[in-house]
Amino acid sequence: MASPWVVDQLVPELLAELAITELPADEASELVGRLVGQAVAARTDSDEFAAVRELARLSPSLGYPLGVIGDAYYASEWLDCECHADSPERDAAAALEASLRTSNPLDVDSGLLLAVTAVV
């Protein structure tokens, strides 16, 4: 089992670096999704659904936004459910994870990205 990947305390710093606080919520959500996907893709030991899980974890503190964070929050409902091991919901979660990991990389300071992806 991969170590837990803690991003929460770095998110405010990343939001500031990317000027996300100035953006409309839907654009900000999309950027956070790309960032988390990029960070997860940079790791070799992340959970199969690490990007979906991280975005889902952010959802409550952001007021359950729509967009990719909302999609991840919904998808996360089915990740650990035995009866959904082979289901359209799980397939959708896998597709979301794959699209997050392959979205356009952002121009983020490499040290900061490294810090986000560091094992803690």
The structure tokens 């999309």 sit at 30
In the bound state with Zn ion, the residue whose beta carbon lies nearer, of 39 and 71, is 71
Question: CB of 79 within 8 A of CB of 48?
Answer: no
- From 13-21, 37-45, 75-83, 101-109, span contacting Zn ion (CB under 5 A): 75-83
Q: Is 84 in the site for Zn ion (CB under 5 A)?
A: yes
Cα 113–chain centre separation: 13
Dihedral pair phi/psi, residue 61, rounded to 5° = -75, -15
Q: Does 90 participate in binding Zn ion (rule CB under 5 A)? A: no
Please tell me whether residue 81 binds Zn ion under the rule CB under 5 A.
Answer: yes
Q: Work out the number of other CB atoms within 10 angstroms of the CB of residue 91.
A: 12
- Interaction between residue 83 and Zn ion (CB under 5 A): yes
Residues that bind Zn ion (CB under 5 A): 81, 83-84
